[in-house]
């Protein structure tokens, strides 16, 4: 289905949308169920996405990007997520959590060293923030990076880190305590740790409920030594920098979630027209058609929310409130639509080979990752002065 007109987006965006939609249906869809079933990383799909320039969409051409913006990036994520959320999150994390911190906060040497391969999709990078007791709570960070000569020595662990253990992962940027500030609070900095560094261990991947074809690992750092030049951005600004990255990421996750919500609509419309019960297509029953109508309304509302946030981001104005709202609305739309789509499909919706069953398993994490629904509500309320 084509839900967006050229008049709304412009020809350049709708052409991108068409190209990615065809890629999702013709390349991603045929292998999605197999990768999900076998928990295998889709290297061949990622390689083709790199060749298409999808990993470079929101970056300027001077760093190897395509000269686009977050709207174009979100459009690509939405189309991919209709078909396979694992592939979509691999792209989202590769750009938003992998390359974007280096683009925003890296020095020229770091940018020239890492960005060309990251924006081309030839390499992936992860961002190590979350720990067993620390995520949104920066003060609970326990990973440390002490100075020793001209090196940082890193000790600690991270968990739930996407794109951290693939064969093409080149680095992970980690948050670590590098000292204390004048008030005695922890000074948190971000440090680049190249893959294969001695003492840096990528632990076995998780057995997840969903996103089975994406790469997610816990990480361990045992006396990991990296040169001080691997400090990313200003010392002591690590968590603040990550919060700005997270705000952008919430727009991207909202776009991905919208794709999941719309994918459930599209599958339900198709199935309802084909499935007969008591001599009639089930689409003719009001209970089914009204349920699908509500699903479409949720997807449309989510799309308008992330478009609004992306437009404010592109205009260079504060978009954080809109990002919180978009992330919450879209993730809930994805989960609600996945539940309803599974119900519409009946017993078939409980079979893993059906796309809606994967959406049902995959969508729950959208209400958790990149800030839970409760965190979004807290931030929206805080913005209202509550």
Q: With the CA atoms of 35, 39, 44 and 49 taken in that order, what torsion angle do they form, in degrees rounded to the nearest 10?
A: 90
CB 366 within 8 A of CB 260: yes
* Distant-in-sequence, close-in-space partners of 269: CB < 8 Å, separation ≥ 6: 1, 283, 292
Segments in the chain forming alpha helices (H): 6-9, 11-23, 29-38, 43-52, 70-83, 85-93, 100-105, 108-119, 238-274, 286-314, 320-345, 355-362, 373-383
- Residue 3 burial (10 A CB sphere; 0-12, 13-18, 19+): middle
3-state secondary structure string across 198-255: CCEEECCCCCCCCCCCCCEEEEEEEEEEEEHHHEECCCCCHHHHHHHHHHHHHHHHHH
CB 118 within 8 A of CB 99: yes
What the block records as the tokens of 9 is 């987006």
* Distant-in-sequence, close-in-space partners of 306: CB < 8 Å, separation ≥ 6: 74, 251, 254, 255, 258, 326, 330
Instruction: Return the sign of the alpha-carbon dihedral for residues 270, 272, 277, 280.
Output: negative
What's the length of the chain? 386
- Of the residues 92, 131, 332, 370, only one is catalytic, namely 370
- Rounded (5°) CA angle 192-194-198: 115
370 catalytically annotated: yes
CA distance 197 to 200: 6
Active site amino acids: 370
């Amino acid at each position: 289905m084509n839900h967006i007109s050229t008049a709304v987006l412009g020809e350049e965006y709708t052409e991108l949308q068409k190209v990615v939609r065809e890629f999702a249906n013709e390349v991603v869809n045929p292998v999605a169920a197999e990768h999900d079933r076998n928990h295998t990383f889709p290297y061949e799909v990622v390689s083709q996405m790199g060749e298409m320039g999808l990993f470079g969409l929101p970056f300027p051409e001077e760093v190897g990007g395509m000269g686009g913006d977050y709207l174009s990036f979100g459009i690509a994520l939405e189309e991919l997520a209709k078909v396979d959320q694992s592939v979509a999150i691999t792209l989202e994390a590769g750009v938003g959590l992998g390359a974007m911190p280096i683009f925003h906060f890296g020095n020229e040497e770091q940018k020239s060293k890492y960005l060309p391969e990251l924006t081309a999709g030839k390499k992936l990078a992860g961002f190590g923030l979350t720990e067993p007791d620390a995520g949104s709570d920066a003060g609970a960070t326990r990973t440390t990076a002490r100075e020793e000569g001209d090196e940082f020595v890193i000790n600690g662990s991270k968990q739930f880190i996407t794109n951290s253990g693939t064969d093409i992962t080149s680095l992970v940027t980690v948050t670590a305590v590098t000292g204390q500030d004048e008030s005695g609070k922890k000074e948190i900095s971000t440090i680049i740790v190249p893959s294969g560094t001695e003492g840096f261990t990528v632990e076995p991947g998780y057995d997840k409920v969903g996103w089975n074809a994406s790469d997610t690992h816990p990480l361990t750092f045992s006396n990991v030594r990296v040169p001080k030049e691997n400090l990313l951005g200003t010392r002591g600004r690590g968590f603040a920098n990550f919060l700005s990255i997270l705000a952008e990421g919430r727009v991207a996750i909202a776009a991905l979630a919208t794709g999941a919500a719309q994918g459930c609509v599209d599958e339900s419309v198709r199935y309802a027209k084909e499935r007969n019960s008591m001599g009639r297509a089930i689409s003719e029953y009001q209970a089914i058609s009204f349920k699908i109508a509500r699903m479409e309304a949720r997807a449309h509302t989510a799309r308008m929310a992330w478009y609004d946030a992306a437009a404010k981001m592109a205009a260079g104005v504060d978009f954080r409130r809109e990002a919180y709202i978009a992330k919450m609305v879209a993730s809930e739309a994805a989960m609600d639509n996945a539940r309803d789509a599974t119900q519409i499909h009946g017993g078939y919706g409980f079979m893993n080979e059906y796309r809606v069953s994967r959406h049902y398993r995959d969508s729950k994490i959208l209400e958790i990752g990149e800030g839970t629904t409760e965190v979004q509500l807290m931030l929206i309320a805080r913005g209202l002065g509550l």
